[in-house]
Amino acid sequence: MTHSGESRYSRQSRFAPLGEEGQARIRAASVAIVGCGALGTVEAEILARAGAGRIRIIDRDFVEWSNLQRQLLFEESDASEGLPKAVAAARRLARVNSEVTVEPLVADLTPANIDDLLEGVGLILDGSDNFEVRFLINDYSVRSGVPWIYAAAVGSYGLVMPIMPGKSPCLRCMLGSLPAPGTSPTCDTAGVIGSITHIIASIQVAEALKLICRSMEPSSFRLTTYDVWTHNFRSMEVGTETMATCPVCSEGRFEYLNGTPLRTVTLCGRNAVQLIPSVKTDLNFDQVAKSIPVKGEVQFNDFLLRCFAPPYEVTVFRDGRAIIRGTEDPALARSVYSKLIGA
């Protein structure tokens, strides 16, 4: 589309570290955003306004009223219609910048489809809400050589870390193994304020532009954390020494690409899905009962916890295993589990 007057990207290309060459690289970029929630919507809009050539949005969920408080691209009509988030985001971005190609994929990223869903992209941005997906992306990144940017936000706190395979530590280097279910707060259990998700996503896209424009030096691979409530800001170097002992970086063991950490089994005839995490835990039901945000009743004994989150009934066992009644869709069951228990 031709526009009269000054280029829509003129203020951006006048920024010396980008320039016209950087703008050309942005225009040629192909970026995947995994998860189109509080972080992903902001990432997508900033990239679209910056003129990124192709933005692929991968999300398994639909728009709900509770999303509107912080998820930038969505409107009340999207929640009323229950539109898939990827579709609603693509419609909005088409109105923001018609020059950008947006590819909405309503899908659950899994080991079985990750090669197809991420084919052809040069950069991956993390907009997910659980470590199961992040460890899967991390395996794919190191195996394929495609950089990605890890990010998370909950409460008033968030963090960002760019990962360049072979040059910087990966997520396994930093965290070791997958956190056990119930040990990490989620936006549904701990809440979140919109300002921190916007700030973290903005930092994430700034790092993305550096990578796209080849302006990121080895010293730039840092873990950045910020708490918008206390204004506590930290930027920490991530040493490469952990790479020598990392099962992914040093041994090429892609455990999450080769398996399903949160295995699902559809229970035929019961309208239910069983979820079996690979990491065992010993849930404290008293704490879980206090943190689960449900409109219905929560019951528990020494063996299991049951909560009613219409239209679903969720039964959780002490080892983290759960049965989600009210759906036979594994992706939807994983989404319910991640929101209530964390993964």
77, 91 contact by CB (below 8 A): no
Residue 269 structure tokens: 């005839």
The C-alpha torsion from 196 through 201 and 206 to 209, rounded to 10°, is 180
Look at residues 227, 7, 193 and name the one whose alpha carbon lies nearest to residue 99: 7
Axis crossing angle, helix 194-212 with helix 38-50, rounded to the nearest 10: 40
Please confirm, yes or no, whether 187 is among the known catalytic residues.
yes
Look at residues 71, 121, 118 and name the one whose alpha carbon lies nearest to residue 92: 71
276 sits in which H/E element:
strand 272-277
Query: How does DSSP classify residue 183?
Result: S
SS (H, E, C) 209-267: HHHHCCCCCHHHCEEEEEECCCCEEEEEECCHHHHHHCCCCCCCCCCCCCCCCEEEEEE
Counting Cα atoms < 13 Å in the Cβ hemisphere of 111 gives 15
Q: Among residues 36, 170, 173, 187, which one is catalytic? A: 187
- Catalytically active residues are 187
